[in-house]
Amino acid sequence: MTAALHRYPKNKQLPSLDELTKPARPNQKQSTDEMLAAFQAMKAAGAPITIRKIA
């Protein structure tokens, strides 16, 4: 088993082994709440995003 440890910040602790070995999230359609949360996080990080409700 290998892990891509270079993707974790050096100033933080690595995730636990249980967290590293748990299966990836299954490919499911993203819910609207998950999409909104993702866009809000991007906007909070400084991305130039306008969020509006359609339909």
| 1-55 pLDDT, tens digit each | 566 767 767 777 877 888 878 887 777 888 889 999 999 999 999 999 998 888 7
Q: How many domains does the chain have?
A: 1
pLDDT of residue 47: 92
pTM of structure: 0.47
Distance CA 37, CA 30 (A): 11
Q: Is residue 5 part of a domain?
A: no
Residue 47 placed within a domain: yes
pLDDT of residue 45: 94
- The parent domain of residue 48 ranges over 31-55
For 32, the enclosing helix (H) or strand (E) is: helix 32-44
Phi, psi of 54 (to 5 degrees): -115, 150
User: What amino acid occupies position 32?
Assistant: T
Query: How far is 15 from 33, CA to CA, in rounded Å?
Result: 26
Helix (H, G, I), strand (E, B) or coil at 13: coil
In a domain, residue 40? The reply is yes
